Amino acid sequence: MATIKSLKPSYFRGFTKECPLDLSSPVTILYGGNAVGKSSVLNVIEWCLFGESCTGRDTGLRERVDWEPQNRKDPDKCKVQLVCQFDDGEVVFERGTSKKRGRSGLVIEFLGGTRLQGDDAELWVKKNIGSFSNFMATVYQHQENIRHLAVAQPKDQREAISRLLGLSDYNDLAELIRKSDLTRVMDSIEKELDWWDHLAYEKTSALTEHNKQIGQKISVDPDTVFPETVKEAASRVLGLTSNFTGKKKGKWELPVVPTSPDAFNDFVSIVIKCARDCFGALPVTERSQELNEEVTKIEGAIGRLRQAAEEKGTANKKLRDFEQEHGTSKDIGEVVSKLTEKKCGLEERLKALNQLTAALNSLLTYMTEHGQGLGEGECPACGSRTSDQQAYLRQRVEALLSTEGKSIQDELKDTGRLEKEAEETLRELERKERQLETAIKTMASAEKEVAQNLLITWKENEDPLQVLKKRLEATKSEAAKVEEELKKAADNLLSIETECDRLKDLAIIWANHELSKRLSSIKDGLTYKELKSLGEEAGQLKLDCQAIVDAVISARDIESHDIVKASKSKVREYFAALADNPGIDAIEMTMETKWGSENYSFCDSAGENVIPILSLGDLNSLALAIFAGLGEANRDALAFRSIVFDDPSQSMGSHHKKKLAELINTLAQKRQVIVSTMDKEFFEALNSDITAHKKCVTFEGWDPELGPRISD
């Protein structure tokens, strides 16, 4: 059994700085007003040992909902240390909120330096100290729990008293076995057996319906489909395929008829592939392709030659039409030459006229400058008789220029225009000649190319287009014959494929028949029997587990009967000492087992339940009497020798308080006691009545910066 030696909170609840506290005395009294840190000291013990388990709704304590262990000033520095003395040495527990301390934050150090941390440390606490609820029932009498023990619902009361009796192991173990995965697995095996039992019927009906549908599809009565039927159909398919591929023996290997219905899908796939490959490689298939290509080529060639011939004809016609309208190039050339010649003559004449007028003008200038020819006389140029030589001469020059000169110029202009037109006509004719020449060359080139493509040699005086048309007709005729042969082959292939589809359906009917047979005889099979046997084995195991649970509960009841029997006088004695109620002569704690659960009752000597008539103070007294009495009777089974009271004198009068102090003095003879109280009267009673070595720790106040102010 362990005792608490010391603790050291730091940034825990109301504590800020590190605050070591020695609790090694047989009795420690924590005394002070409200909210000065007394309960926080007790909280250190539980949080250090149980961490998260002592917070939250599951604790059953209202105050633990949303409870924060860390001081908000610096939550990351929250750390507590608890030193306990076990039979085999001192053990130091340390818990912090820092993640560095391992996942759970708990570190345990044993004498000699061995350390455990994280999950290993939590497991050690679970095994050697027990659960938080166990601790609450046997060590730490929380004020909220005091009355609960006496007036709680039977189930909660049972649990609390069982823990107090050190019997929680029985309950925990029985519960573990009851709720183990074994139960689920056993149920699932039973469910599996049921499933297989139902399968035969449901699946067989579905298979029959499926066969009926297939039968309708292929016009066959499914009941007349036997393995032989399917195999015969397969042989027919093989025969058809073999005939089809016969011309290429050895190359197309056909499969053998399967013996299992499941193998027919593969069989059919191979047969169809074989037939299709063979069809693709038939001579008529190849020839049909060749002929079709040939037809395409010839039609292309005909088109090409037709186009070239058309172009040539068009060019030729245009040239002839032009020649008809404008004459040949020779004719036009002659016209151009004549016009050129005429133009040259006109230019010569104009040139002569210009020289003449220039000479006359020179003469006229000379005469004017020298005052000659002002009167009648002969014209020095033509010798004609004139009245005024200069005027005559001037008149002559002007007449020459305006009549003859103009006439020559007009004619020259017309001749030039005509010459240009003739030249343009000639050029146009030459263009048309060139176009014809190009069309002729294109035609020749097309004929040459077609000849090369179609491997034809044109004979002299042979019309390539006619040659091609004849060839096209012959090729088409051959293609039609080949196509007919090909269609026959395609029909054969289609009939093989149709037979294959039918074969597949027949094989499905066969497979469904087989599956139905297997389903009908499922229960006769060894594997089903093996499953059945596993189910029986699981059922036995279930009964074995139930028998073990019954044995565990039975052992618990025997032990609890013994403890209750041994402790009932202590409970009676402590209650009498605490309550001193004249209305109740004595209190009798009894236990009976109903439906696998033990129920506790508290009656007076007349056998009447006393709970309904107890005052609040008496209920507290009863709870404390049960707590102390059972703990006393069963103390060897407890992990801790310590007992912690948190404000136990609530609702008690002076007399009760005095009695409680006396009771604690009695308990302190055998257990280490830590009492927290704010009750001055009770504190004084403790101070005066406790004879064991005691230590009083006074909480004088609390400062937000410094935490609790404590004096020993």
Residues that bind another protein (CB under 8 A): 123, 126-127, 169-170, 172-173, 176-177, 180-182, 184-186, 188-189, 191-192, 195-196, 199, 203, 262, 514-515, 518-519, 522, 525, 527-528, 530-531, 534, 537-538, 540-541, 543-545, 547-548, 550-552, 554-555, 558-559
Least CB distance from residue 530 to another protein, whole Å? 5
Q: Which residue, 355 or 554, is less far from another protein as judged by CB? A: 554
Q: Which residue, 560 or 677, is less far from another protein as judged by CB? A: 560
* CA nearest to 111, candidates 94, 125, 92, 126: 92
Over the range 121-149, which residues count as b (16 or more CB within 10 Å of their CB) and which as e?
A: bbebbeeebbebbbbbbbbbbbbbbbbbb
Q: Which residue, 128 or 445, is less far from another protein as judged by CB? A: 128
Complete DSSP assignment for 132-176: HHHHHHHTEE-HHHHHHHHHS-HHHHHHHHHHHTT-HHHHHHHHH
Rg (CA), the chain: 65
Q: Which residue, 100 or 184, is less far from another protein as judged by CB? A: 184
Q: Which residue, 352 or 543, is less far from another protein as judged by CB? A: 543
Those residues whose C-beta lies under 8 Å from the C-beta of residue 477, and which sit 6 or more positions away, are none
Question: Strand 3-10 vs strand 79-86: parallel, antiparallel, or unpaired?
Answer: antiparallel
616/623 Cα distance (integer angstroms)? 11
Least CB distance from residue 96 to another protein, whole Å? 24
3-class SS letters over 503-536? HHHHHHHHHHHHHHHHHHCHHHCHHHHHHHHHHH
For 469, half-sphere exposure in the C-beta direction (CA atoms, 13 angstrom radius) is 7
* CA nearest to 42, candidates 480, 673, 692: 673
Those residues whose C-beta lies under 8 Å from the C-beta of residue 350, and which sit 6 or more positions away, are 405, 408, 409, 412
Cβ of 562: how many Cβ atoms within 10 Å? 13
Q: Which residue, 131 or 340, is less far from another protein as judged by CB? A: 131
Q: Which residue, 173 or 381, is less far from another protein as judged by CB? A: 173
* CA nearest to 589, candidates 615, 646, 628: 628
Least CB distance from residue 132 to another protein, whole Å? 13
CA distances, 130 to each of 179, 280, 366, 545 (Å): 20, 84, 160, 24
Contact 493, 264 (CB under 8 A): no
Q: Which residue, 123 or 494, is less far from another protein as judged by CB? A: 123
Those residues whose C-beta lies under 8 Å from the C-beta of residue 30, and which sit 6 or more positions away, are 38, 41, 42, 674, 675, 676, 677, 697, 699
Q: Which residue, 22 or 187, is less far from another protein as judged by CB? A: 187
Backbone angles phi, psi at 582, to 5 degrees: -65, -20
Q: Could you tell me if residue 477 is left (phi over 0), alpha (psi between -120 and 50 degrees) or otherwise beta?
A: alpha
Those residues whose C-beta lies under 8 Å from the C-beta of residue 549, and which sit 6 or more positions away, are 174, 177, 178
Least CB distance from residue 115 to another protein, whole Å? 20
Backbone angles phi, psi at 84, to 5 degrees: -120, 150
Least CB distance from residue 21 to another protein, whole Å? 31
Q: Which residue, 344 or 547, is less far from another protein as judged by CB? A: 547
CA distances, 571 to each of 35, 176, 343, 519, 587 (Å): 33, 31, 161, 69, 8
Question: Strand 115-117 vs strand 385-386: parallel, antiparallel, or unpaired?
Answer: unpaired
Those residues whose C-beta lies under 8 Å from the C-beta of residue 553, and which sit 6 or more positions away, are 170, 174, 593, 596
Q: Which residue, 138 or 241, is less far from another protein as judged by CB? A: 138
Q: Which residue, 551 or 706, is less far from another protein as judged by CB? A: 551
Contact 17, 49 (CB under 8 A): no
Contact 1, 641 (CB under 8 A): yes
Least CB distance from residue 535 to another protein, whole Å? 9
Least CB distance from residue 79 to another protein, whole Å? 27
Question: Strand 672-677 vs strand 642-646: parallel, antiparallel, or unpaired?
Answer: parallel
Q: Which residue, 365 or 521, is less far from another protein as judged by CB? A: 521
Least CB distance from residue 125 to another protein, whole Å? 10
Q: Which residue, 167 or 468, is less far from another protein as judged by CB? A: 167
Contact 682, 693 (CB under 8 A): no
327/429 Cα distance (integer angstroms)? 9
19/12 Cα distance (integer angstroms)? 10
Contact 507, 233 (CB under 8 A): no
Least CB distance from residue 704 to another protein, whole Å? 42
Q: Which residue, 487 or 518, is less far from another protein as judged by CB? A: 518
Q: Which residue, 117 or 677, is less far from another protein as judged by CB? A: 117
Least CB distance from residue 553 to another protein, whole Å? 10
